[in-house]
Each structure stands twice: as C-alpha cells, then as structure tokens.
Amino acid sequence: MRNWILPEHISDLLPPEARRVETLRRAMLDLAAGFGYELVLPPLIEYVDSLLPPADAALELKTFKLTDQLSGRQLGLRADITPQVARIDAHLLNRQGVARLCYAGSTVHALPDGILSSREPLQLGAEIYGFAGVAADVEVVELMRECLRLAGIEQVHLDIGHIGLFLALADAAALSGERREAVFRAIQQKDLPSLAALVAGLPAPLAQGLAALPTLYGGAEVLAAAEQRLPALPPITAALAALRDLTEALAARGIVPHYDLSELRSGYYHTGLVFAAYAEGWANAVARGGRYDHVGERFGRPRPATGFSVDLKELSRRLAPALARRAILAPDRLDPALADAIRALRSAGETVVVRLGEVIDVEELHADRELVERGGQWQVVPLGA
C-alpha cells in the first residue's frame, strides 16, 4: 500500500513553507488587531444546518458531510468560516454595538475551485457586524489592502460590484430553481450566448437588464451606463447609489476602484456590495469580500455585516522563504547547571537544540552556536570555536 500518498488537491506543508505561512498569518492577525479586530476560533466541524446559509447551492456542494455518532445528526466540515463567525456574533457575543472579529483556520472543500486549487484552503478574514454605513466597507477594503501588502502585493486592481442588481432583476422576473442558478452562473462567467438563451421570454426590460450585467465593467463610466441600461427598480436605484457612495469614500483615501457588475461571488449569502482584489501574475482574485447583511438571520439576529477573506497558503507561495531562527546546540548531559543555562536561554527567546546522538548535519538543526563548559560555567560560543 502506498499509504503516504495524499488525496488529490491536498498537500503537506514542509518546514520552509509552513514557516512562510505561519509568519504571514501572525503578521496579518497582528495587523487586524491594530484595527481593533478580536480573534475568534470557530470549530472545524459542526451541524450542517448552521454551516450552510439557505439556498446556497454552491457552498453546499463544497461541504463534506457525515453523520454524528453521538447525536445522529448530520455534521459538516466547514468550507467557509463566515457563517460560523455570524453565529458567534449572533448568539455567543450578542453585542448591541459594532463587533470587529477576525479569524484564521483551515477549511475543507469537497470539490476544488479550479485545477490548481487546494481543497484545504487556510482562510483568514476580518468582519464587521452591526454597522450598515459605507464606512465599514471602506475599513474592510483598507485592511484587506494592508494585508495584501504584507504578502508582497503592492499594486491591487480592485473590482467592485453589487449583488443586489442581480437579485432585483431575478426577483422581478420571478426566476427560481435551476433556471435562476443557470442565469447566475452565466452572468458570473460572462457567457453571453447562454445568458441570452436563458433570459429569452422574460419581459424585455428585465431580459435586457440581466443580459447587460456581464458587459458592465470598466471605469467610472460603468455606473452611468448601468443607469441607462438597467430598469429603474427601487432596489437597483439603491444599489447604484451604494456603489457611488463607496466610490466617493474610497477616492478620499486614494483608492480608485474598477467596476464589474457581474462580480457576484460564489455564495448567495452576499446581499450587497461585493469586491475582489486582483494582482499581476495571479490568475484568480487574491482576496474577496463584500456585504452579507442577512447571514445571521437563521440565528435569529440579521445584523449588518461586511468583511473579506484570503487564502494564506495561496498568498504565501510567492513570498521569499521565511528563514528559520538560528539555534544553539547543547550537549546531552545530566547537569543541573546546563539545564539552568538552557532554560535561561530559551526564556530569553533563543532556540536551544539538545544534541541527540550523532549530529550528521548541523545546518539541518539551523545551529550556528553551541553551549560549552569553560571554567565551570556554561557559555555560548560560535560553533566549533
């Protein structure tokens, strides 16, 4: 049996890669803490009905399911951490004011997002609950950009959209079930021929509006074009106003976004503004986020919410190797004075590795110094001195 082989799209992280990921994780969480975000650590597994927002077919397909031997209920391995954080905000913290929460942890996907995608992304994100204003969206975008800088990504192409445009058109057209899903996917993929066939027979203003969404991308002219080409439904007017407000607020911070009104994300729990960050040399978005004001509704508390997330494994791939801390090599001796010296060095932040057996290669231990006894005292000296 070749039992050392892992499943497809699952991989180990060896010491150099693990150091790189962990260094980035700590730096990003420290950055989020500087913005006032508090760390939460939801469990990897919980009941499926709390992991899956209603009608989110895409997330359900990604979620591994199994039966709980204790309760007999269906469990799921989380494929996305945001629903868990919404549960924490709604029922465990239960704060009346604004809550800023951040997290980092493994997720598990039953199916990969793409040919080169991992089925175990390491998701890091930050979310704001309890504030509906555009200032929360701007803060999330700013924090996301600073996190990407920690990953060595300085130049970001920011696409913003509003899922409310699709929802308004689809609801007005009474789209449901498989047809609604198919229209959603065709817009996401900018598949104009398929989209034209799917909207055939709908009232002309609604069919034209749905067909227009994949073509509405570019610079500041997009919002004016959207006003002309989309029907003047109240939710559409509100969505375009929200995009203008976000644009103005971002401009005040020197951020010039682009627009992609087919930027719908993969999950239905998003309700409003959505955004994706792209960078040169990356085939897919390096970060995604948006507003999901009703994600806590099934927990009895539909608070306004906005946030973003990144995959730490993916982001860390292009970073320079994280160097291991240089170590001090100590002999394996039953000497109380040596034990005291080792404890003191470790307390001071040094790495001390006790020599076990014959050391074949000191570089594997990252050792450049050693503890030696001279004049009855244990001293740190250069290796081999």
H/E element, 253: none
Cα–Cα distance for residue pair 254/110, rounded to 1 Å: 40
Closest CA to 261 of 286, 297, 228: 228
Q: Which residues of 184-196 are buried (b: 16+ CB within 10 A; e: fewer)?
A: bbbbbeeeeeebe
- Other C-beta atoms closer than 10 Å to the C-beta of 266 total 17
Tell me how far apart the alpha carbons of residues 58 and 271 are, in angstroms, rounded to a whole number.
Answer: 15
Query: 143 with 32: CB under 8 angstroms?
Result: yes
What local confidence, expressed as pLDDT, does residue 69 receive?
94
- Banded pLDDT at 45 (limits 50, 70, 90): very high
Question: Strand order in 367-374's β-sheet?
Answer: 351-354, 327-330, 367-374, 377-382
In this prediction, residues 115-131 reach a mean pLDDT of: 92
Confidence bin at 1 (pLDDT 50/70/90): low
Q: Please tell me the predicted confidence (pLDDT) of residue 294.
A: 74
Interior angle at CA 84, CA 62 and CA 159, nearest 5? 65
Alpha helix (H) residue ranges in the chain = 15-34, 48-51, 57-62, 82-87, 134-150, 163-172, 177-188, 192-199, 204-212, 221-229, 234-251, 312-316, 336-347
In percent, how much of the chain has pLDDT > 90? Answer: 69
CA distances 290 to 31, 55, 106, Å, are 20, 18, 21
Range from 9-13, 104-108, 177-181, 300-304 carrying the lowest mean pLDDT = 300-304
The pLDDT tens digits for 299-311 are 777 889 999 999 9
Measured distance CA(356)–CA(90) in Å, rounded: 52
**The total number of residues written for the chain in this structure:** 385
| pLDDT score at 265 | 63
Write out the two tokens for 80.
């996305």
**Cα–Cα dist 59/266, whole Å:** 8
Tokens of 70: 């204790």
| Mean pLDDT of the 71-96 span | 91
- In this predicted structure, the answer to whether residue 384 has a pLDDT above a threshold of 80 is no
Q: Are 327 and 351 in contact (CB under 8 A)?
A: yes
Hey, which residues does 10 pair with through a beta bridge? none
pLDDT at 267: 52
pLDDT at 105: 96
What is the structure's pLDDT at 377? 93
pLDDT at 95 over 70: yes
pTM of the model: 0.88
Element (H, E) at 275: strand 273-278
Percent of the chain with pLDDT over 70: 98
CB 272 within 8 A of CB 290: yes
Residues 6 or more apart from 339 whose CB is under 8 A from it? none
Determine how many CB atoms are found less than 10 A away from the CB of residue 259: 23
Q: Do 79 and 62 form a contact (C-beta atoms < 8 A)?
A: yes
Q: Tell me the sheet residues that pair with 381.
A: 370
**Summary mean pLDDT of the chain:** 91
Confidence of residue 122 (pLDDT cuts 50, 70, 90): very high
Paired with 330 in beta bridges are 354
CA distance 129 to 302: 10
CB half-sphere exposure, 93, CA atoms < 13 A: 23
Sheet holding 74-77, edge to edge: 45-47, 74-77, 64-67
Distance (Å, whole) CA 85 – CA 308: 12
pLDDT at 202: 93
Is the predicted pLDDT of residue 266 greater than 60, yes or no?
no
Q: How confident is the model at residue 361 (pLDDT cuts 50, 70, 90)?
A: confident
